[in-house]
């Protein structure tokens, strides 16, 4: 290996480690230098270089002896989301869907085999799984995710399952590929997906896919709430029709952009 190749490899490893540290700070909150060094089994001096570089570039802040992620991530994520045609078209419709249903309304998209939550509209009585904006969730056990999977080719679904697996988050989670494909067939036939406590105990959701044209899935929208308020009759007679109406409006908006 040439000197340039060796240098490139070291730089890539350094960048990867920096992102590992950022993720650690995100999940753990304010953290000391010694805690970072111990977590990644690195000398204090090396950990300090990583953290000081992140601080210098404003992606990490330091208060007293503790480091944490900065709001620069919020700016980056917010700008990316606000520029998405899906978000622009869906936001007012999601707010209206929340007002109609009294439950939480959501919009999400798929990236790297995950369902990414872009926006949620909440009311005073709404209850859901408390997933944060920008949360990366498994596709197979969320209504938003299953709605999108139902429109993907079998090859694409298989590739996602190979990448992310079928982990169980509750006793209701689907953990068998055949069972998932049967569920996706039902979802395509009725036009919407249902999650009954598969992602979070006691929380249910109904979701519909959003298409920018007949072949391209750009995301999904959903209504979520406690199982006690999300019975089959309400879903079929009230929530699903409202959801499908908003699906049509959002798709029409996208076609005009």
Please state, in angstroms and rounded to a whole number, the distance separating the CA atoms of residues 138 and 114: 5
Counting the structural domains of the chain, the total is 2
Q: Does the pLDDT value for residue 10 go beyond 80?
A: no
Handedness of CA 25, 30, 33, 34 (dihedral sign): negative
**62 plus 88 within the same structural domain:** no
**88 plus 57 within the same structural domain:** no
Nearest to 120 by CA among 111, 131, 110: 131
Please state, in angstroms and rounded to a whole number, the distance separating the CA atoms of residues 51 and 71: 16
pLDDT in tens, 94-147: 999 999 999 999 999 999 999 999 999 988 777 766 778 888 999 999 999 999
- pLDDT, greater one: 90 or 14: 90
**161 plus 188 within the same structural domain:** yes
CATH number, domain containing residue 177: 3.30.450.40
pLDDT in tens, 208-242: 999 997 779 999 999 999 999 999 999 999 999 99
Domain boundary pick from 45, 70, 95 = 70
**169 plus 61 within the same structural domain:** no
CA–CA distances in Å: residue 172 to residues 24, 52, 142: 30, 45, 11
pLDDT tier, 11 (very low <50, low <70, confident <90, very high otherwise): low
Those residues whose C-beta lies under 8 Å from the C-beta of residue 132, and which sit 6 or more positions away, are: 117
**164 plus 235 within the same structural domain:** yes
On average, the pLDDT of the chain sits at 92
Please state, in angstroms and rounded to a whole number, the distance separating the CA atoms of residues 255 and 249: 10
Domain boundary pick from 20, 40, 70 = 70
**Residue 248 has what pLDDT?**
96
**237 plus 131 within the same structural domain:** yes
Those residues whose C-beta lies under 8 Å from the C-beta of residue 256, and which sit 6 or more positions away, are: none
**135 plus 41 within the same structural domain:** no
Phi (first) and psi of residue 105, to 5 degrees: -115, 145
Helix (H) or strand (E) holding 220: strand 216-226
CATH number, domain containing residue 57: 1.10.10.10
**110 plus 224 within the same structural domain:** yes
pLDDT in tens, 148-163: 999 999 999 999 999 9
**Antiparallel, parallel or unpaired: β 193-196 and 136-138:** unpaired
Domain boundary pick from 27, 47, 70 = 70
- Label residue 82 exposed, middle or buried (CB < 10 Å: 0-12, 13-18, 19+): exposed
Task: Name beta bridge partners: 117.
Answer: 108
Task: Name beta bridge partners: 116.
Answer: 109, 136
Residue span of the structural domain in which 147 resides: 79-256
Please state, in angstroms and rounded to a whole number, the distance separating the CA atoms of residues 76 and 12: 22
Q: Does the pLDDT value for residue 8 go beyond 70?
A: no
**204 plus 139 within the same structural domain:** yes
Helix (H) or strand (E) holding 129: none
Going across the sheet that includes 66-69, the strands are 31-32, 66-69, 60-63
**Residue 65 has what pLDDT?**
93
**251 plus 153 within the same structural domain:** yes
Would you tell me how many other CB atoms lie within 10 Å of the CB of residue 154? 9
pLDDT tier, 1 (very low <50, low <70, confident <90, very high otherwise): very low
**109 plus 219 within the same structural domain:** yes
**84 plus 162 within the same structural domain:** yes
pLDDT in tens, 72-102: 988 888 888 999 999 999 999 999 999 999 9
């Amino acid at each position: 290996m040439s000197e340039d190749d060796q240098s490139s490899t070291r730089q890539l490893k350094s960048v990867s480690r920096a992102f590992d540290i950022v993720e650690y700070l995100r999940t753990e909150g304010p953290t000391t230098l010694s805690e970072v060094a111990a977590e990644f089994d690195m000398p204090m001096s090396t950990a300090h270089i990583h953290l000081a570089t992140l601080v210098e570039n404003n992606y990490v802040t330091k208060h007293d002896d503790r480091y944490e992620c900065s709001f620069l991530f919020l700016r980056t994520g917010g700008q990316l989301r606000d520029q998405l045609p899906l978000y622009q078209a869906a936001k007012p419709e999601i707010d209206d869907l929340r007002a109609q249903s009294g439950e939480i309304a959501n919009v999400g998209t798929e990236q790297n085999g995950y369902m990414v939550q872009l926006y949620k509209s909440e009311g005073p009585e709404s209850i859901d799984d408390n997933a944060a904006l920008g949360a990366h969730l498994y596709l197979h056990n969320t209504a938003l995710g299953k709605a999108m999977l139902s429109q993907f080719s079998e090859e694409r679904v298989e590739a996602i399952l190979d990448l992310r697996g079928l982990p169980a988050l509750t006793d209701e989670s689907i953990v068998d590929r055949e069972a998932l494909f049967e569920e996706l067939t039902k979802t395509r036939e009725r036009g919407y997906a249902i999650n009954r406590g598969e992602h979070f105990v006691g929380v249910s959701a109904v979701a519909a896919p959003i298409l920018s044209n007949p072949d391209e899935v750009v995301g999904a929208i959903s209504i979520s709430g406690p199982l006690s308020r999300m019975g089959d009759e309400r879903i079929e007679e009230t929530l699903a029709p409202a959801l499908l109406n908003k699906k049509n409006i959002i798709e029409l908006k996208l076609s005009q952009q």
